[in-house]
Structure 1
Amino acid sequence: MLPFVKKAPTFILFVLLFIGSIQTAKSNKPPFKVIAFYTAKNDKAHISYVHEANKWFALMAPRHNFTYDSTANWANLNADFLSHYQVVLFLDTRPEAPEQRKVFEHYMANGGAWMGFHFAGFALTPSAYPQNWDWYHNEFLGSGAYASNTWRPTSAVLRVEDRKHPATKHVPVTFKSSPNEWYRWTNDLRTNPAITILLSIDSTSFPLGTGPKPHEIWHSGYYPVVWTNKNYRMLYVNMGHNDIDYDHKTDKELSFTFGNEVQDKLILDGLRWLGNGKQ
């Protein structure tokens, strides 16, 4: 028998042990920690989304190596509390107190990570959420104030604008979203060099919305729905508005945000990118 034949089993064993050690190292990687802030008041569609999101993220956490906590106490938006988390989520609103805003700006400027959904980007003057935080709406998000929306919540065909980003490189060029109320903004994100648009509404979606008001149905235009700011570790996701049976006053949930395989993957890949600590 040739010498190398006798040595083959030992070599194979070495390879298997090496592969096993790599897999063990991956499985032993410490999970990153996520904290979600929410308000969940007033709008039933936003309340529905927040409850859904809290259940979904808690379910996904052990499967994707992160921990998930949530709080409706915005006073927790302080330096000591945030020091325990690598990623902050705003599920439906933004901080209102000046000291909380200052803490969040400092957190993001010093390497913190953030993902915001739907109403977290809303600002309209006059309203309960006026545009009174220039850093957040103009510098950080870049979108400025809310300008208009579609109605009712409707699925859209979304187009990937940047296939190199970790959040989008595993999703198809176009896909159908979960139903959502889509926002239009006062600022054109395409003119902001700090903003990278990841997803926009594909033209095949038009007309988008059912009304009944004519301006709630979009027939043309360019509408970014997911983007990031190159100066921060952040993702804004416009999805996060479930459909509710307002017409018959039953308040029954008619649609959900999660459960869409491609959209879920986008959110999870984006979250993992934020949680790995790299810009």
Structure 2
Amino acid sequence: MASSQQLKISAVTLFVFCLFCQWHLRANAQIGTPKFKVIAFYTAREDKAHISFVHEANAWFPLMAAKYHFQYDSTKNWNNMNPEFLSHYQVVVFLDTRPDKPSQREAFQKYMENGGGWMGFHFSAFALTPSDFNQDWNWYHESFLGSGQYVSNIWRPSSAILDVDRNFPATKYMPNTFKTSPNEWYRWEHDLRKNPDIQILCSIDSASFPLGTGPKLNEIRHSGYYPVVWTNKKYKMIYFNMGHNDMDYEHKYDNTDKTLSYTFSSPIEEKLVVDALLWLGK
């Protein structure tokens, strides 16, 4: 027969074991529950550089989701841009284009006005009248992004040195300057420095000039101020002009579709996007 001392030791051991099991279950539950949920919308049509970026992003974001404990979903069904569907996500990402239907646009605007988070890349801000993407959404291009219409771009996609405003949660751990992966950099209709709602987080450093290789002279920039990452202080949002990979354009008619550079091949650029996403989802 066991002594009273042995029974006490067994009881204590069982108690400690039960506490450990409860802690282990809670820890696993916390690991299994995402901190926030992200839904990325994309079109991936026509422009091979944009398609390349979409494929890259849809492979890269799930890796970051596993590392930083958030959920990443993606869809090319823009009809999911509705209040019920969006209610399940804390962050919306536009990988290449924007919604076109009035009901989709209304749903997105209300989502943002109600505190949702948004991250947009490159072509998601594009608007040019006349084109296949007319500027026919004033709230988005004028009030939300503040940039107005697209004006021009450099060519060929080139790396740039960016100046960083570190006075912001998503950039405070960034270096003062960093070199990007090659990109097609846009110029905009409006000077964002004059918009009190806009905080420019990254802009092209003068050390980048001349930026672009042409062959057309107007595709090379020699001076000027060009914002490439910014936020609107009225919303929880960040726009990145990055998102146009360099392709093997010289052999484009051979249907090789070879990608020569990747946006997320730059560790510093990766860090900027991850820190921005964690800020949006917190």
Q: Provide the TM-score with structure 2 as the length reference.
A: 0.88
Is the partner of 2:100 in helix, strand or coil? coil
Instruction: State the shift of 1:44 in Å.
Output: 0.4
Q: Which amino acid aligns with 1:273?
A: W
Identical amino acids, percent of aligned pairs:
67
After the TM superposition, which residues 11-90 of structure 1 pair with which residues of structure 2 at under 5 Å, given as runs?
A: 30-90=34-94
Moved over 6 A (4+): none
Instruction: State the shift of 1:176 in Å.
Output: 0.3
2:174 corresponding residue in structure 1: 171
Q: Which amino acid aligns with 2:258?
A: K
Cα distance between partner residues in 1 of 2:257 and 2:42: 21
After the TM superposition, which residues 90-239 of structure 1 pair with which residues of structure 2 at under 5 Å, given as runs?
A: 90-160=94-164, 162-239=165-242
2:5 corresponding residue in structure 1: none
1:9 corresponding residue in structure 2: none
Q: Which amino acid aligns with 1:243?
A: D
1:244 corresponding residue in structure 2: 247
Instruction: State the shift of 1:84 in Å.
Output: 0.4
Instruction: State the shift of 1:251 in Å.
Output: 2.4
Cα distance between partner residues in 1 of 2:33 and 2:199: 30
1:272 corresponding residue in structure 2: 278
Is the partner of 2:249 in helix, strand or coil? coil
Cα distance between partner residues in 1 of 2:45 and 2:199: 32
CA-to-aligned-CA distance 1:151-173 (integer Å, 9 cap, x gap): 1110000110x212111111100
CA-to-aligned-CA distance 1:221-255 (integer Å, 9 cap, x gap): 00000000000000000000001112122321111
| Structure 1 residue ranges without an equivalent (≥5) | 1-19
Is the partner of 1:47 in helix, strand or coil? helix
Which range is displaced more, 210-219 or 247-256?
247-256
When the two structures are aligned, how many residues end up with a matched partner? Answer: 256
Q: Provide the TM-score with structure 1 as the length reference.
A: 0.88
1:5 corresponding residue in structure 2: none
Q: Which amino acid aligns with 2:229?
A: V
Q: Which amino acid aligns with 2:262?
A: F
Cα distance between partner residues in 2 of 1:30 and 1:70: 16
Q: Which has the larger radius of gyration?
A: 2
Q: Which amino acid aligns with 2:85?
A: F
Instruction: State the shift of 1:27 in Å.
Output: 5.6
Is the partner of 1:247 in helix, strand or coil? helix
Contact 2:34 2:71 in 1 (8 A): no
Instruction: State the shift of 1:29 in Å.
Output: 7.2
Cα distance between partner residues in 1 of 2:241 and 2:198: 15
